[in-house]
Each structure stands twice: as structure tokens, then as C-alpha cells.
Structure 1
Amino acid sequence: MVNCCGLITANKDPVPLKSIEVELEVRDHVATVVSTLNYENKEDKPLEAVFVFPLPGDAAVCHFSAQIGQTQIVAEVKEKQKAREEYDDALSSGQQAFLLEESEQSPDIFSLSVGSLPPGESASIRLDYVTELAVQADDGLRFCLPAVLNPRYQPLGSGGSGGVQVTSVPASLVPYSLSFSARVSSPRPISKVESSCSLDPLQYLNSEQTQATIKLAAGHKFDRDVELLIYYKDAHQPTAVVEAGQASAELGSLMGDPVVMVSLYPEFPQSVMSSVASCGEFVFLLDRSGSMDCPINNSKQQETRISSARDTLLLLLKSLPMGCYFNIYSFGSSYEHIFPKSVEYSQQTMEEALKKVGEMGANLGGTEILSPLQHIYSQSCIPSQPRQLFVFTDGEVGNTKQVLDLVKKNSGSHRCFSFGIGEGSSSALINGLAKEGGGHAQFITGTDRMQPKVMQSLRFALQPAVVDISVTWDLPKGVSVTVLSPPITALFQGQRSLIYAQLTGQSPKAAEGCVTVKYSLAGHPSQNQLRFSLKPAEDTGSTVHRLGARTLIRSLEMEERERRGQPDGGLKEKVVQLSVQSGVSSSFTAFIAVNKADGEAIQGPLVRRNIPIAWMGVPPSKSRNLRMGAAIFKMDDEFEMADDVPPVMPKQPPRDPLLQLVSLQQASGCWLLDPALSAALGKTSEEVDKSKPAPVNSDVWATVLALIWLHGFKKDAKEEWELLAMKAASWLRSQNAPCLTECVEAGNALLGCSMQKDVLGL
């Protein structure tokens, strides 16, 4: 019988992973991560340990080595099947071996096999990767060290193969410790670093505050992702970094030539940005799998992921412009929609949708997102109503690559905005949906509120779409450029776009290059230009080359999947060649290290031990053994598939006053004068009626009061209600109401505020 908590082996011996040490170096918006995993075999037999763990979805794993006693073995990248055969051969001949491979289904899950660890022996395994830091809506750069690998739901019949047995444990009981330190440097001052975990104070290393160190506070339990948000002053400066090629690599090859990384922050004309689109088809896709019933964070137990998503949909529906179209889909093992196809936004359709949203629970079983997406894409687009897709999920999906391929295939017809809810959501899925769908990704973790992040993305969705994007290069004679990044398909105000390119040929000293991005916005042609020195930066190592290689590898892998079953022009071979040459992992290669040092073969039968991983998705009582198919969890019926069990509705906490007021707004933007509004404002109906100026229409009075209350009492939540307040102000202006100044003065007197008309948008 397998012990359900996974803390001890069948012999009641401790599991072999003892500790993890992580060192992070951030240079501007690129991170290098060095992780050391320390093992010890306390059993009396040789061990094979298997450890399955998450990494950021766009990480480029570029070094893997093992230290056993005084011997260090550095792994090589080889074609995956060859690496597996070499590993098996080494174990069967009594040698120590280590195998690191990326999952077939999702690029953010790796499995590490530690083979033939003799009794009493210790091993330290070092894993290095580089990754770009994503820009958040508030300009923070997000680094996430995934500690939590949630069970990934594998749809039936999706062909997960292989078999790694993994024991899952309650996160608070993970038996190994974590130490984590970070060093940050940037051309611009570092204004602050925030985290979902307790940190020691930020230590600046120079007077300019462009270098600093930060550490996790002592006693951190590795029970949740370690998330850092790094803020620089003047973050929106475009930059270019040129990195010299490796002297040992062949000139003309990717690793032998210089590579440039260009980061652009387009700034759009204010006249265009101040106008909000009044059209569009808004499709909301909500995860209702069993795991959405978990708390959204560790501190506020009663707020679940699904209840936060319901509140967010209320704000979204109230903020939509009149004249647009919308629909709401929800999914688990099956999927549902509120309307057979998208409908025009009106008071009637909004009320019908809100009634159904209020009844939504986390009761639809597993996490099968592919079918509802296929259905949405099969619907014809509405002329002159650009489709905007919003996906809300805790990201526990097994067939990530299949999902992203589908989104990319349909990227010409829509923009996709994605939201990863709670600890352990798949960065490969959430970032990939936005990247392939030309939208924007957000993660909601720790004590974050979902609403402001989602409303920020709605503002992006209401921006005019940027079209006809082209990138041109102006370089000195004798220098040519090969772009490694896929074409830019989306630009948003103030959001970074990254381009990697290989520079071939000799350039004169002090030479400059220039990159120009041209595009059309709301019918106006625009461009952003960046001049940069071709002189290579110092001390960047091979970071830019490896990120460039990773970008190209991902594009080629996706192209290979699209062409599966057809002649692919040797795409798989190209990926393997590029992966081996650059030393960067891919889905077709693996890192293999074999200890070939002289010594006796390890004696005795090999015992397999699986390292437990933290599992945040299920209460400890439901924690159980899971089977990994090609390093992806395959769920059983006990938790996610509980379709036939009626949901237990938790006792509802008192409603947030802001949401109470918002729920009363009409689709047109106005409020009606009724007892429910008076109660939401904290007044009696009599007080509200008595204060109304005589000539003023009751709906105008109600709407002015709601606007004053929002600005006066909920200023700190402005991101959440700003769009629906703009709609209310627009409705008031359209009424040409007399005595508006007198109305605002009377409203201020009633509510104890001092708001000016212009602040209210009037």
C-alpha cells in the first residue's frame, strides 16, 4: 500500500531530496536562475529517484550537472531517445546516470531521474535556466519560481504515454527546505521589489540604486510559488542589447554570430487612447473544474477562485459598451454556454447572463478547455465586431501544446486575454494563450484581487487593434540580419515587445543599427524607431543567445506540430540540431549525464523512489497517489470528475458594498432611484428622495449619487469601476439634464463628499 502523504518510502525511510538552493540574477528584464537540488540516499540499497517539477513555460534550460563526492559530471544535450537509451544502459551496467527531460505535452514540466545513488551517498544536481520577465499591467516585471505543480487534467483519449509514478503531498508537509536569494541590476534605478512571500529588506549595492540584493525571510515553507515583482523607474525606455558570439562556435552559426535583443514600448497618440471602442464581440470562457473551489489564496479562506471569478464577470458585464455583442462559456469535463451564439448587449441580455453567472459553481469536473475553444472558433465572426476572448482558469491542463496550436491557428480572427488564477497555474498555458492570441496575460496569486487585473485587460481589449505591423532593419554595409522571433501580431500601449535577431558579417567600430516598427492604429499610420550601438555588451555571457535559440526552437516545434503527417522539411532535425548546438532544452532532446569515472559497478537491485511534490489543488484528506503520463498528471474520478455529486454551496459572506452598488447599474450606464440603491449608498429612501432637487429626473439623480459615492468612497478601487463610471458619465451627458451643478452639490451634501463636476466626468 502506498502511503498517501508520500513522506516516507515503503520501508518508512525518508525520501531522498533534502534541500533546494536557488540563486537568481536579474539584469534589466532577463533572469538567470541557478538551482541546486541536494539528494541523500539513507537506504541500504542503491536508489533511482524521480523528481517531477515545474519551470516557467518560456525558460531556456541551458546547464545541467551533478556533483557526487569529489566528482563533477556535466550533462550534454542529446536527441531524446538516444539520451534515454544511454541512461538505461548506464544503470544496467552499474553506473550512475542523470536524465533531465521536458514533458511531451507541456513545456513547463520537467522530470529528473537520478540513477544508481549508492547507499549513504549524497549528490548535488545543478540546473541553470534563463527566462524573460513578463511585464504586468502596473509595469512590474514578474519573476515566478514555481513551487507548486498542480495536477494537470489529462482529457480522456488524449494519449498520455509513459509512466512516472508521483506521490502528491499536502503543501505544508513537503520534506525539503528552500533557500532563495536574488541580485537585481538595471540601467535604471530599482524603485521597489514586492513578493507574495516574506522578504528580508531590499539591500542597495550602490548610491544610484541600480543594483540590489533580496532574500527570502528565514523559515519560508516551500508551499507556494515564490513570486517577485520588480519595479524600475522610467521602465518604458526602449533598449537593445547586442551580445558577442561564442569564440568556440562557428561563424555564421547562431551561437557564433552576435545576437541582438530589442525591447520596444510603443507609445500611442493620446487622442486615440482616450477614445474607447464601442463595438466588439466579447467572449468570456470560465473554468468550472473542481479545483476552482479552492481558496484563491492562503489567507482569505472563504473567497474561492470561482466566487472571485463570478464577481469579476459582474464588473465586466457592467463595463461593456452599448452596441457590442457578448457570450459566456464555462467548462469542465463538458462545456456550457449562456446563449447559443453571441447576442447584442442590452438590459435584457445582461440580466439574463448575470442570473446564470450567479448560479455557476465549480461543479463541471475536469479541465477540458480544447472543446469549448473549438466550438467558439467554429462560430462565424460578426462583421465590424472584433472578437475578444477572455479565458479564466487555474491552468491545470495537460494538453497545453494542443490548446496553444488551436489558438495560434485562429489568431487572425480574435485577440485572447488570459488569467491564471491561484498558485501553480501553468505559465506555459497562460502566457501561451496571450502570446499566440495577440492579447495579454495576467496572474492572480497571493493576496491579489482578480478584478483590477481583469479590468486592466478589458481596457487593452477596448483599445483600437493595431494592424499592418512591420519591422525593418537599417544596418551598416556588410551586416545582415536573421530575425529569430515570430512576427509581432499585437501591440498595446506601454506593453513591451521583444525581438531577437542574429547579426551576420563584420561591422566597423562604433557602428550603429536602427530598427523601425511601423503599424496602423485607428486608421493612422505610426512608427517607433530605436537606434542602437552594434558594440557587444559586456558580462552578458550567452543569455541573449540562449533566449534567442529558445524563441526559435519554440516556433519550429509549433510548425512541426502543425505539419504532423505531412512532409515537414526536416523541422524536427532542425530543432534537435539547434538544441544541441545552443545547449538549450527542447521537446525532442534531453540532458544526459553519466559518471564514467573509474570505480566499481554499483551492486544490488535498484530501488525506484518518487519524490513528492506540493499539491495545492486538493485538501489533504483528498491527497492521493497520481499517475503521470509522460510527466503529466492523469486525474481519476475522485475529485475533478465529481459531476454527479451536488455541490455544497458555502455560506455566502456579506456582499462587498462596491459590488452591491455595481450590481444595480443598468446596461445603459444609469442607476434607477429605488430602495436597493439607497441601501447601497448607506441612506434611507426618505433621505435620498428628500435631498433630490425638484426639477431633476430621478434616474439622473440616482446616477449622480452613484458616481459621487464611487469617487468619494472607493477611490482606491478606481481601476475596477472606472470603465462603468465612464459609461455612467456618458449616459448623463446624453440626457442634457438641467441643474446638473445643483444636483452634484445636493449629492455631495447628502453623502458628505466634495466632488467637482469635472472629476465625475461631467
Structure 2
Amino acid sequence: MLRIKSILLGGNNVSVQDKFVPLKEVHIEGKIHSFAADVTIKQIFRNDENNPIEAVYCFPIEEQAAVYKFIAQIDDRQIEAELKEKKQAQQDYNNALQQGRGAYLLEQNEQSQDNFIVNIGALLPGKECHITISYVTELNLIDNGNKIHFVIPTTIAPRYNPSQGGISSPARTNSEYVQTTPYTIDFQCQIDKTNVSSVSSTSHPIQIEFNQQDYYLVKFSQNETHLDRDILLDIHLNKQRSNTILAIESNALMISFTPNEQDCQRAMNNVEVTNEFVFIVDCSGSMQDENKIGYARQSMVLFLKSLPLNSHFNIIRFGSSYKPLFDQATDLYNEENSKKAEQLVNNMQADLGGTELLNPMKWLEEHPAQEGRSRQIFLLTDGEISNVDEVLNLCRSMSKSSRIFSFGLGQSPSRSLVKGLARSTNGRFCFIPPSTKVDTYVGQQLEKALQPSITNLEIKWNLPIEIATAPKVLPPVYANDRLIIYGLINDPTIVFDHQIRIELFNNQQKLSEATITQIPAIIQNQTISRLAGKALILELQHSKLPSIPKGSRQTRFRELNQQSIDKQQEEQRERIINLSLKYQILSPHTSFIGIEKRLNGNNEQMVLREVPIQISADDQHLVQPAPTNGAFMQCASSMRSPLSHMFASMASHKDRSDRRGRHKKPISNYLGCYSSRDISLHCAKQIACMYDAFEIDESRKVFLDDDEESEEKFPNDDENIVRYLIDKQNFDGLWNLDSEIIEKLTGKPLKQFQYSLDDKLIVSIIIVILLETRFSSYSSMCHGMIQKSKKQILNLLNKDQNHFESLFQQIQKQL
């Protein structure tokens, strides 16, 4: 498992002296209204040293955020930065420091576009500098459109750099990763009460003030909060609300549509497509902590249970290397291959070293989907890589035949990577924070992957003037997903009235319509135009450059071919710069630069101070060994490095089992791919003593107590009953449960459900009905399994739809 080199930790000390950390406080204020959030970040820097310093701080902001303001304040002087092309801004910054002036620079990293860097040049001894950064961002809908998920990233996870073979500092800085930092964060957010039922956070303790008439005020309920995890707010929406939102500015308007399932079914036109499913699972060392590899295993179980019969699939584990389950790109999903996959998943460990995603993606590109098939790629990762841009460029070339559904696991995945992969391939993304129900997220994404997205969308504004749509090509949309579309208006004198209809079409068929029933107030804060500009920039960034026909294949002509590619890339870069300057929002190719004039300034004694980055809560293992039993570690220390992770997992499980009173698991669950020769009998006996008396037989196999062989207990709560039913579903989508289990589920013995049909068929119908009624709150989790079971039941009834519906109705009446 990779650990951060000492050079990144300031030697052996993982903390740093306060006086050498110029950043003292971070304050974040947010305002949430309807479809967007306006966020202000305030960073307070102070120079406690005797010489001028140049402070450099790398921090995260959501990639899709439109950063529109950068202000530096020193004493009573306020320097409002100007947006310029990046190279020009960097030159201006450097020249100002050489001339003894103050200079302030804000940049977005081009490789990892959720990383931002602020430079404060020549902060004088004893002086404070207050930096203000403002941005607007769209809000994501989750949970089938019932909840807004608002994220404020606060930490940058250490990224694996394939070219260096290890961890590198972010954004080409030399910033150190440390366990604790002297600076802390304060947070408050105003949330418009319209259509909001409640607010919660899975990341931090919060307090909510209700006494304001128009908004809720959310604050941290604890002081001295460190930046070791992203801030997550879930805003629960009222069920009775409009699925259409309209907002208007003097030069722009925004409308959002949320198609329902009926809309999607009409658009899909009941066309069946043969699917390939490829699961790419991060098994690097960083997946060990916070049980991220356990989340991945849990996800894979649900994936495999939900795969349609006769589809094709593969599982690729990756780290420093990659290992596909099948040698070919995909193989038939049959009973034999299903068992191979389940065995692989059960033994899956975080044992493959670093995080190199590019090579498995290249392998898939070299083995494209067969003609007539659609390939769905599911990526589960903590996203800790440095070559994000290189991976995204490769995946854009696969977008015609493949969609990527990306899952970011843990406290601080690379949001740029996870979102970028999905956006560039017309897929979907989601983030799964620690200690949440991972199978709910997986079920929702799988439900979307099992249905085609609605593509070829077109909007008709039906306005008397020309409207420029942003983005120009509308992205695919799924049921209960929100599609936000911007219109840019060249005539600010336009008057809106009740006759205006805005329509959304799919292949010339009307999909949805919004009629203005109430004229909204004109907004004057430029939120819509900024987000529209950002949508156009993102569209360019995520688009694939048109291919250039190759000329001569001779080696001496390669330079000419490369010049054509470079020319296209430069043209795209210029278009992004022009959009950035037009809408006055930051881009990867522009920077905010502010210059402070000083009389008789001299920066010759200036010292560089790069602010250390607090490592996220789920990456603590990178700077210190996991705390374990002393005797246990003494034994483990004699083993090879990968085995120490297996032992640490066992120790962790023992602690949890003892606290919660759960049954112990067989030690074979932890051995994974390690053979018996890796573990000496002597060491195994020491482990057994620590782990409450395993039995060691003569063949050197290690067993737990006989509890594991005892009769399986039937769960007594809904959630675990659903998980039990997921586990018991057969490969073909049916269930083969005995009468005793059916009686526990229904209160009636199986013999009361007699229809001259095979018991397995009757049992499966009972389970499907229960999942759709009694356990309907878990329907997202089980959607793929239910559809698979229904299709198999219909096939066994000779595709007699009337008989199928009649059986379900009769059995449901008996339940």
C-alpha cells in the first residue's frame, strides 16, 4: 500500500509550526435558491514572520462552479482582481513581485479542474490579507428528484501520479499533506424555504435556525472545525411541487425540466438493446480505509444480482496494474460466469498498490463493444489520481458506444474525475460518503443504466427574438433527473407574458412543455448568465476534438500531423478563453490577477510559504499506520506488506464484532488472494490467540468458532430482510425459498398459494409483490432485480401477459 513520502510530510513530523502557516481561518457562506447556490469563500492570511512571504494555498471548488469574483483586502485597501488570459496574468504577477509590489493571483488547475490555487505575493510582516472568492453553481437532484445534494469541497485527497510512481502534491505545488492544521473552517448557509421540507447533513453536526421568514439558516453546531471532509447538505423537497422552474435575468433565462417515467417510456419507444456491462473496481491501497473496498464489494453484489440474462459483462480490478476477470472484453452472463464473478467479489481486497486508471481504460478502448451492443461502464473509485485530464481525453473517444456511470467513494474523491467521466460519455455520476447505504445509490444508477437515456433533445423557446441555447447540444436525461437549459438573450427589452410556451422535443416528438403562468421577477445578479457561460465552457472542455484524416504514414510526416492536432487544441483553448472573458468567469486558461501599488517596495527577502493541506479523514492511513493490537502488529510485521492490510482488516473487524455483538466471519474472508504459504502456522496461531480462539487443523486452514455453521437467523427488520432477499435471489432472477421462510414473510404457509405452478415460480411472484409493496421504500435498490425476475416469470408463462397480470393480482389479494 502506498504511503506519502516523508518529503511531503515535512520529514518525520506530520504537523507544522503555526507561524509558518500563513492561512489562519476559512469562512464559507452560501445562499441556496431553487436551482443554484451562490457561495463566498473568505480566507484570512497573516504573516507572523520577520520577512515578507509569498503564500500559496491549493484548495478545491466544484469543477462546474462559475467563479466570478476575487478580492484581496489589506488594511483599508481593497484590490479587486481582473480576469486575464492565464499566461498574461502569470507574467503580470511575476513582474509585480520583481518591482516590489503586492500581487494576488487565482488560478484553476488545467489537469485537475476541481483544484484552485491562490497566490499572495509579498505579504509584509505583521500584516493580514483577507481573500474573498465568489462563485455560483448548479444544484444536483438525487433520490429520484426528491432531494437536493449540496457539496462544499474542503480537502484535496492525495493523488497517485503514475509518472512518479507515488503520491504527488496537487496542482504542481509542493504543498505538504499533514494530519492536522492550525487553520479551521466556519460555515453558514441560507436556504430558501420554497418547496423545502427539511435539511440534514451526513458530514457535520449542524444547527438550523427557523425564525427567518424566507429562509433557513444552517450553521455548524461545533466550533474549531477542521477541513478533513467535504461539507454535505441534503435538502429534502416537498412532494407537492412543480417539476418546472423558470428564472429570468435581463439578458438570460433558465428553465429546468424533470421528465417522469412515462415521458422516458414514450421516448424509449420500448426498444430493447443488448447491453454489455463492465465493472471497473479500484483495488488500490487507498481503498482500504473507511471500508471503501467493502462498499465496492457490497455494490458489486447488487450489480451482479441485477444483470439481465443473456447480457455480457466483465469485472476489471485496477491499481498499479489491472486484472480483468475474463480475457476478452466481455463474456456471457450465465450461471457459470456468475459464480466466477461472485467468487472474485467475495475475495476482493485493496491490494493492488497505486491508482492507475488510464491503462484499464486503454484496454477497453482497444476492445470496443460489438456492433449492435451498448456498453455500460461502472467505475467505483476514490478518485485519487493526478492525470485526470489524460483519462478524460481517452474516455471521450469511447463515448459513441459507451457510457460511464462513476461512483466516488469516501470523504474526498476527485470530483473532477468522477463528474468528468460521466459527462464526457453521457453517463451519470454520484458520490457515496462514508457510513451511508451504498446499495441505494447503486440501485438508482443501475436503474438508469438499464434503460436508454433520452437523447437527441431539442428546445423550442417560442419567443419573438433569437435565443442562444446553452449548452448548444443538450445532454441526455433520465427519469426524475433535472435538465437545466439556459437561453442567452441579445435584446434586454423583451417582455415576457402568459402566452409564452417553452417546449422540449425528442426526435421531433414533444416530450414536455412549460407554460408561464406567473411572470417571475427579473433577477439582477447575473447568476443565470454566469452559469450559462460556464455550461458553454464545460461543453467545450468535455467535447472530443474532431479527428484529422491522417496523411502520409512516413515517420518524417508525423510532425505535420501533430501540428494539425495542436492547431485544433489551440483553437478550442481560444474559444474557452473568449467565453471566460465574455462572461467574466474563471476557466482553466484564464486567471484573476490583482496588483497592489507600493512606494519603495522591496521583495528581495521574500520567503515562499505553501500552506499545508489537511489530509481527509479517510486518508489518514497514508500518514500513519492503522492503530492495531500490539501483539497483532508484532506478528504482522514479520509478514509481507500486503498481508499487513489483511491483518489490519481482521483486527478492525474483531473490534467491531466485539462492540456490536455480531458473529465473527471466517478468516478465509480476509485471506482473499493470499495463499496458505503466505501465512505460517506459527503466526496463524498467534493471530488465533488474539482473535478469540480460532481452530487450526492439520492442513493449516484457519477456522472461526462453530457459530458460523449454526442455523442462519432470519432478519427482523425491513432493511435486512431486503438484503436477505437480494442475497437469496438465484442467477436466473427467481427465488427458491422454503415454506417456512414464506410464512415468516407473509404469515401464511406456501401451500395456501396453490395455482398448479412450480413452487419456485409462485415464491418469486410473492417476493416481487412484497418488494414492490411492503418494501417499496427500497425499490430503487431492487429495481434491476425486480425487472429481471418479472421478465423471467413472463418467459416461463410463455409470454402470456394476461396470465402474468392475473397471477400477480390473485396472489396480491391473498397477501
Identical counterparts, % of pairs: 27
**Secondary structure, aligned partner of 1:566:** helix
| Distance (Å, rounded) in 1 between the aligned partners of 2:199 and 2:305 | 34
Mapping of residues 282-681 of structure 1, within 5 Å: 282-295=277-290, 304-339=291-326, 340-476=328-464, 479-505=465-491, 509-511=495-497, 513-520=500-507, 525-532=509-516, 537-558=521-542, 564-567=565-568, 570-596=571-597, 598-602=598-602, 605-616=605-616, 620=620, 622-623=622-623, 647-648=645-646, 650-651=649-650, 654=663, 659=723, 661-672=725-736
Partner AA of 1:440 in structure 2: R
Is the 1:681–1:709 contact (alpha carbons within 8 Å) kept by the matching residues of 2? no
Shift of residue 204, structure 1, vs aligned partner: 5.3
Deviations 1:501-556 (A, max 9, x none): 22223655345654322115xxx944222345998843441111111112222333
| Distance (Å, rounded) in 2 between the aligned partners of 1:312 and 1:238 | 33
Is the 2:159–2:169 contact (alpha carbons within 8 Å) kept by the matching residues of 1? no
| Distance (Å, rounded) in 2 between the aligned partners of 1:509 and 1:691 | 68
CA 1:355–1:236 in 2, change beyond 3 Å: closer, same or farther? farther
| Alignment of 1:60 onto 2:60 | no
CA 1:574–1:706 in 2, change beyond 3 Å: closer, same or farther? closer
| Distance (Å, rounded) in 1 between the aligned partners of 2:195 and 2:276 | 41
Residue 212 (structure 1) aligns with: 216
Mapping of residues 142-161 of structure 1, within 5 Å: 142-156=149-163
Is the 2:743–2:749 contact (alpha carbons within 8 Å) kept by the matching residues of 1? no
Partner AA of 1:648 in structure 2: M
Deviations 1:568-597 (A, max 9, x none): 58433333233233221111111111211x
Is the 1:466–1:491 contact (alpha carbons within 8 Å) kept by the matching residues of 2? yes
| Distance (Å, rounded) in 2 between the aligned partners of 1:699 and 1:354 | 22
| Alignment of 1:88 onto 2:94 | yes
Is the 1:45–1:604 contact (alpha carbons within 8 Å) kept by the matching residues of 2? no
Partner AA of 1:549 in structure 2: G
Residue 166 (structure 1) aligns with: 175
Is the 2:315–2:324 contact (alpha carbons within 8 Å) kept by the matching residues of 1? yes
Mapping of residues 167-316 of structure 1, within 5 Å: 167-170=176-179, 173-185=180-192, 188-196=194-202, 197-203=204-210, 205-206=212-213, 211-219=215-223, 220-233=225-238, 234-244=240-250, 258-269=251-262, 272=265, 279-295=274-290, 304-316=291-303
CA 1:530–1:573 in 2, change beyond 3 Å: closer, same or farther? same
| Distance (Å, rounded) in 1 between the aligned partners of 2:182 and 2:71 | 23
Shift of residue 39, structure 1, vs aligned partner: 1.2
Q: Which moved more, 1:644-653 or 1:349-358?
A: 644-653
Shift of residue 695, structure 1, vs aligned partner: 7.6
CA 1:24–1:443 in 2, change beyond 3 Å: closer, same or farther? same
CA 1:443–1:645 in 2, change beyond 3 Å: closer, same or farther? same
Deviations 1:75-127 (A, max 9, x none): 11112122112222222232221111111202110111111111111111111
Q: Structure 2 unaligned segments of length 5 or more: list them.
A: 1-6, 547-563, 625-639, 658-662, 666-719, 799-807
Deviations 1:213-246 (A, max 9, x none): 22221324432111112233245522232212xx
Residue 752 (structure 1) aligns with: none
TM-score (norm 2): 0.76
| Count of aligned positions | 688
Partner AA of 1:285 in structure 2: I
Is the 2:47–2:125 contact (alpha carbons within 8 Å) kept by the matching residues of 1? yes
**Secondary structure, aligned partner of 1:38:** strand
| Distance (Å, rounded) in 1 between the aligned partners of 2:451 and 2:603 | 67
CA 1:345–1:202 in 2, change beyond 3 Å: closer, same or farther? farther
Partner AA of 1:262 in structure 2: I
Partner AA of 1:342 in structure 2: T
| Distance (Å, rounded) in 1 between the aligned partners of 2:774 and 2:369 | 41
**Secondary structure, aligned partner of 1:200:** strand
**Secondary structure, aligned partner of 2:176:** strand
| Distance (Å, rounded) in 2 between the aligned partners of 1:759 and 1:455 | 25
Is the 2:281–2:316 contact (alpha carbons within 8 Å) kept by the matching residues of 1? yes
Partner AA of 1:548 in structure 2: A
| Distance (Å, rounded) in 2 between the aligned partners of 1:236 and 1:471 | 19
Residue 118 (structure 1) aligns with: 124
CA 1:388–1:203 in 2, change beyond 3 Å: closer, same or farther? same
Is the 1:73–1:593 contact (alpha carbons within 8 Å) kept by the matching residues of 2? yes
Residue 99 (structure 1) aligns with: 105
| Distance (Å, rounded) in 1 between the aligned partners of 2:490 and 2:75 | 44
Is the 1:278–1:322 contact (alpha carbons within 8 Å) kept by the matching residues of 2? no
Is the 2:43–2:131 contact (alpha carbons within 8 Å) kept by the matching residues of 1? yes
Residue 8 (structure 1) aligns with: 16
| Distance (Å, rounded) in 1 between the aligned partners of 2:810 and 2:228 | 49
Partner AA of 1:589 in structure 2: T
Is the 2:112–2:171 contact (alpha carbons within 8 Å) kept by the matching residues of 1? no
CA 1:374–1:517 in 2, change beyond 3 Å: closer, same or farther? farther
Shift of residue 343, structure 1, vs aligned partner: 1.9
CA 1:325–1:483 in 2, change beyond 3 Å: closer, same or farther? same
CA 1:712–1:525 in 2, change beyond 3 Å: closer, same or farther? closer
| Distance (Å, rounded) in 1 between the aligned partners of 2:506 and 2:458 | 6
Shift of residue 442, structure 1, vs aligned partner: 1.2
Partner AA of 2:305 in structure 1: K
TM-score (norm 1): 0.81
Q: Which moved more, 1:90-99 or 1:615-624?
A: 615-624
CA 1:121–1:680 in 2, change beyond 3 Å: closer, same or farther? farther
CA 1:758–1:460 in 2, change beyond 3 Å: closer, same or farther? farther
Is the 1:400–1:429 contact (alpha carbons within 8 Å) kept by the matching residues of 2? yes
| Distance (Å, rounded) in 2 between the aligned partners of 1:338 and 1:708 | 35
* Root mean square deviation, CA, Å: 3.7
Is the 1:130–1:543 contact (alpha carbons within 8 Å) kept by the matching residues of 2? yes
| Distance (Å, rounded) in 2 between the aligned partners of 1:176 and 1:161 | 19
| Distance (Å, rounded) in 2 between the aligned partners of 1:356 and 1:693 | 39
Is the 1:673–1:701 contact (alpha carbons within 8 Å) kept by the matching residues of 2? no
Q: Which moved more, 1:652-661 or 1:509-518?
A: 652-661
CA 1:665–1:606 in 2, change beyond 3 Å: closer, same or farther? same
Is the 1:434–1:440 contact (alpha carbons within 8 Å) kept by the matching residues of 2? yes
| Distance (Å, rounded) in 1 between the aligned partners of 2:441 and 2:248 | 34
Shift of residue 409, structure 1, vs aligned partner: 2.8
Residue 36 (structure 1) aligns with: 42
Shift of residue 374, structure 1, vs aligned partner: 2.5
Is the 1:518–1:526 contact (alpha carbons within 8 Å) kept by the matching residues of 2? yes
| Distance (Å, rounded) in 2 between the aligned partners of 1:692 and 1:534 | 55
Greater helix share, 1 or 2?
2
| Distance (Å, rounded) in 1 between the aligned partners of 2:29 and 2:435 | 25
Is the 1:280–1:386 contact (alpha carbons within 8 Å) kept by the matching residues of 2? yes
Q: Structure 1 unaligned segments of length 5 or more: list them.
A: 245-257, 296-303, 625-641, 738-754
| Distance (Å, rounded) in 2 between the aligned partners of 1:572 and 1:276 | 40
| Distance (Å, rounded) in 2 between the aligned partners of 1:144 and 1:530 | 29
Partner AA of 1:30 in structure 2: A
CA 1:88–1:319 in 2, change beyond 3 Å: closer, same or farther? same
Is the 1:48–1:117 contact (alpha carbons within 8 Å) kept by the matching residues of 2? yes
| Alignment of 1:719 onto 2:703 | no
| Distance (Å, rounded) in 1 between the aligned partners of 2:814 and 2:370 | 32
Partner AA of 1:260 in structure 2: L
| Distance (Å, rounded) in 2 between the aligned partners of 1:540 and 1:645 | 61
CA 1:382–1:526 in 2, change beyond 3 Å: closer, same or farther? farther
Shift of residue 702, structure 1, vs aligned partner: 5.9
CA 1:729–1:588 in 2, change beyond 3 Å: closer, same or farther? closer
CA 1:390–1:678 in 2, change beyond 3 Å: closer, same or farther? farther
